[in-house]
Amino acid sequence: MRMLVHILKWLLLVALLLGAAAWAFLQFHPVFGGRPDAQSLARMQASKAWRDGAFYNLETTPVLTSDEAPSVFTWALKMLRPPPGKVPAAPLPGVPFDASKLQDGALAWLGHSTVVMRLAGKTIATDPVFYNASPVPFTVSPFPMQHRPRTADMPPLDAVLISHDHYDHLDWRAIRELAPRVAHFYVPLGVRAHLLRWGVADEKITELDWEENAQLGDIDITLVPARHFSGRRPRTEANTFSGGQRPKTSPALDNPSPTLWGGYVLHAGGKRIYFSADSGYGSHYKEVISKYGPFDFAMLECGAYNRKWALIHQTPEETVQAALDVGAARAMPIHWAKFDLSEHTWRDPVERFTRAAAERGLPIATPRIGEVFTLDKLPQERWWESVP
What percent of the chain lies above the pLDDT cut of 90? Answer: 79
pLDDT recorded at residue 83:
87
Q: Which residues of the chain have pLDDT under 50?
A: 235-244, 249, 251
Query: SS3 sequence, the chain?
Result: CHHHHHHHHHHHHHHHHHHHHHHHHHHHCHHHCCCCCHHHHHHHHCCCCEECCEECCCCCCCCCCCCCCCCHHHHHHHHHCCCCCCCCCCCECCCCCCHHHCCCCEEEECCCCCEEEEECCEEEEECCCCCCCCCCCCCCCCCCECCCCCHHHCCCECEEECCCCCCCCCCHHHHHHHHHHECCEEEECCCHHHHHHCCCCHHHEEEECCCCEEEECCEEEEEECCCCCCCCCCCCCCCCCHHHCCCCCCCCCCCCECCCCCEEEEEECCEEEEECCCCCCCCHHHHCHHHHCCECEEEEECCCCCHHHCCCCCCHHHHHHHHHHHCECCEEEECCCCCCCCCCCCCHHHHHHHHHHHHHCCCECCCCCCCEEECCECCCCCHHHHCC
Cα 126 to Cα 26, 34, 226, distances in angstroms: 27, 21, 15
pLDDT at 20: 57
Q: What ranges do the domains of the chain cover?
A: 1-32, 34-386
Give the model's pLDDT for residue 27.
57
Q: CA 388 to CA 385: how far, in whole Å?
A: 8
Pairwise CA distance, residues 124 & 162, whole Å: 11
Sign of CA dihedral 4, 10, 16, 19: negative
Q: What is the pLDDT of residue 244?
A: 46
Compute the chain's Rg from CA coordinates: 21
Phi (first) and psi of residue 196, to 5 degrees: -60, -40
Predicted confidence at residue 115, as pLDDT, reads 98
Q: Which distant-in-sequence residues (6+ apart) come within 8 Å of 173 by Cβ?
A: 130, 131
Q: What pLDDT is attached to residue 32? A: 93
Q: Tell me what pLDDT residue 269 has.
A: 86
Q: What is the pLDDT of residue 238?
A: 37
- The span from the CA of 275 to the CA of 271, in Å, is 13
Beta carbons of 31 and 135 less than 8 angstroms apart: yes
Q: Give the relative orientation of helices 316-326 and 348-360 as an angle to the nearest 10 degrees.
A: 40
CATH number 3.40.50.620 given to 34-386: no
CA atoms within 13 A on the CB side of 182: 31
Distance CA 63, CA 102 (A): 38
